[in-house]
Structure 1
Amino acid sequence: MRSGRITRAEVASAPCLIDFALLHPDPDDPEWLRPVPPSAALAKHLHPLEREIQERRRRSVQLTESFEPFMDISAQDPPTTHAITVLEGANRINAALDLATAECRSEVLTVQPGGGRSEDRLSEALERGLSVVDRGVRIRTLYQHTARHSPSTLAYAERIADENVEIRTLEELIERLIIFDRTVAFIPATDDRQIALELRHSGLVEYLAKVFEQLWARAAPLLEEIKYTPTTLGISGVQRSIAQLLVEGHVDDSIARRLGMNVRTCRAHVAKLNAALGSNSRAQLGYLIAQSGILERD
């Protein structure tokens, strides 16, 4: 600034001088740059900021005036509680789960129906799980028995293993359920799980927690062998469950979904039931199941 100009080569190591408009090209020689008064350069940068601040202040006043009538109304009535919140779309559902995970302090209860889960979903679950386990939060998870044959599920269980983590399996489960600290619960609202419900009503959450505890008491630890009650004709526990659903009128797709297996596996079990009972048709199978006594329990 004292000399009145500087070569471009000398400024190469300090490009901020040009970025902040403290230098401009010499009109007589393009190889040289001339200084701009700092006050002028500063004003050039401050002007749009001041204009933005003024616009934001105007906007804040406008919003306050717009909301004022509603504030007056809400002050007269008791505040509403969001006992049920509809979450639409994976992004919003995951954001709500992330927030509940961050706020969780003591316990997470989860029901995950179906067979083996994809690696992407298990990685997502592992990240959330480890974040709460590190804080000493207890996790109890229920899968279906078919998850015992899923390498990815077993690998997940091994990676999240901790004294505060328990995983059990059951033959048949309710739909997906996640409960945090018994204060907030999440359940799917549609079959494709693109819409979920966030429940904060204490009665609803406590009811779902009791349902979980009943299922948990009947479930078997993931890494322990399942001991089925012996049945007549050498029919397994899984096949007895399929037989029960068959006589209730369920089709193969419905049975497979409820027991967390694919349709091909379900049909293979139905074929074994046919062979064990000597059935030649689905109608005859239902009759023979009822006559065999295999659905009778002690």
Structure 2
Amino acid sequence: MKPTHPHLVTELCDEGVRLYGSALTSGRIARSEVEPAPCLLEFALLHPDPDDPNWLRPVPPASALAQRLHPLERDIQERRRLAVDLTDVFEPFMAISTQQPPTTHAITVLEGFDRINAALDAAIAESQTEVLTVQPGGGRSEHTLSEALNRSKPLIERGIRVRTLYQHTVRHSQRTFAYVERMAGAKMEIRTLEELIQRLIICDESVAFIPAQDDRQVALELRHPGLVAYLTRVFEHLWERAVPLMEEVPYGPDSHGISGVQRSIAKLLIEGHVDEAIARRLGMNVRTCRAHIAKLGAALGSGSRAQLGYRIARSGILGNEHQAPLCPDN
């Protein structure tokens, strides 16, 4: 006998269909004819002829169908009983959960992008007045901006105000300006700062979302009024210091030819941060950060990275609090 066909009875092969039909028509079929379709014997659609071992007789289709359906129906009945038992167990708790006012968790841990996005979408959909967002980092990808557009447009259409804080580095992103143009005339405001806190979303000053891990796979949904109020005040403090996206950043190069972003880098260097940490805090890639450091060193006449900190402190570009005493150059 040939190996069993790799298919289910619900996907009977063409040869099996033809031979089973022929057997039903004639009342029997030679065993040799069935060799191309061993599935007919495996599925018990044929059985040996008691009068002649060289022949096979077809099982009536009604009987074959009943044999296949019986275990399925038994399984369905068992699952129905399980459903009834589960309902009986959870029914008392359902009554508790529907009491007014509903229980609200102050902090909910959200794991995985799907659950985080689902919670965000639900909170944004329920917003009635305003959504605040802090988005650190540099220019966004087309996919990220497309997601932002899909989330923002329904809010704007409902007349809800949206305020977003980016870092100054997005001013070099044409995609960001294209995104702003698409939202022109809407109740959306965008401002930028040199440095920002971690990602933050606040809806109606009632629920806030913050990351719990750097890889953004875990987030916290905060509904404690005190926590949300505190984060809202943090946002407003940053908002007052930020510059509208369509306006020029008010400071340019100083007398040393050092730009605002280079002064920010100088301050972080003095505080002991490494290049990667500086780049992350200022929303730029490490290569761009190192290019600014090289320009900073050239502007201050520093011949080495070790000497740069002293040169920064001696230059006065960061104010008196970082002024260094006179000492010979190293």
If the length of structure 2 is used for normalisation, what is the TM-score? 0.69
Q: How does 1:197-276 map onto structure 2 within 5 Å?
A: 197-228=220-251, 231-276=254-299
Counterpart in the other structure of 1:289:
312
**Percent of pairs identical after alignment?**
72
Counterpart in the other structure of 1:140:
163
Distance, in Å, in 2 between the alignment partners of 1:71 and 1:89 is 27
Could you report, residue by residue, the CA deviation over 1:121-150 in whole angstroms, capped at 9, with x for unpaired residues?
110110110011000000000111110111
Distance, in Å, in 1 between the alignment partners of 2:93 and 2:155 is 39
* SS of residue in 2 equivalent to 1:193: coil
Q: 1:115 to 1:72 in 2, by over 3 A?
A: closer
Distance, in Å, in 2 between the alignment partners of 1:162 and 1:201 is 34
Greater shift, 55-64 or 132-141, is seen at 55-64
Could you report, residue by residue, the CA deviation over 1:177-213 in whole angstroms, capped at 9, with x for unpaired residues?
1111111111111111111111111111111111111
Distance, in Å, in 2 between the alignment partners of 1:163 and 1:127 is 14
The one-letter code matched in structure 1 to 2:294 is A
* SS of residue in 1 equivalent to 2:227: helix
Cα RMSD for the two superposed structures: 3.1
Q: 1:217 to 1:83 in 2, by over 3 A?
A: same
Counterpart in the other structure of 1:62:
85
Q: How does 1:111-190 map onto structure 2 within 5 Å?
A: 111-190=134-213
Query: Rg: which structure is higher?
Result: 2
Greater shift, 271-280 or 51-60, is seen at 51-60
Counterpart in the other structure of 2:129:
106
If the length of structure 1 is used for normalisation, what is the TM-score? 0.76
The one-letter code matched in structure 2 to 1:206 is A
Distance, in Å, in 1 between the alignment partners of 2:149 and 2:170 is 16
Counterpart in the other structure of 1:91:
114
Greater shift, 242-251 or 93-102, is seen at 93-102
Distance, in Å, in 1 between the alignment partners of 2:158 and 2:102 is 33
Do the aligned partners of 1:232 and 1:294 also contact (CA within 8 Å) in 2? no
Task: Report the number of matched residues.
Answer: 254
Which one scores higher on RCO, CA 8 angstroms, separation ≥ 6? 1
Counterpart in the other structure of 2:51:
none
1:162 positional shift: 2.7
* SS of residue in 2 equivalent to 1:235: coil
1:224 positional shift: 1.1
Unaligned runs of 5+ in 1: 1-24, 29-46
**Which of 104, 108, 118 matches 1:81?**
104
Distance, in Å, in 2 between the alignment partners of 1:181 and 1:81 is 16
Counterpart in the other structure of 2:52:
none
Distance, in Å, in 2 between the alignment partners of 1:73 and 1:147 is 49
1:239 positional shift: 0.5
1:81 positional shift: 3.1
Q: 1:144 to 1:62 in 2, by over 3 A?
A: same
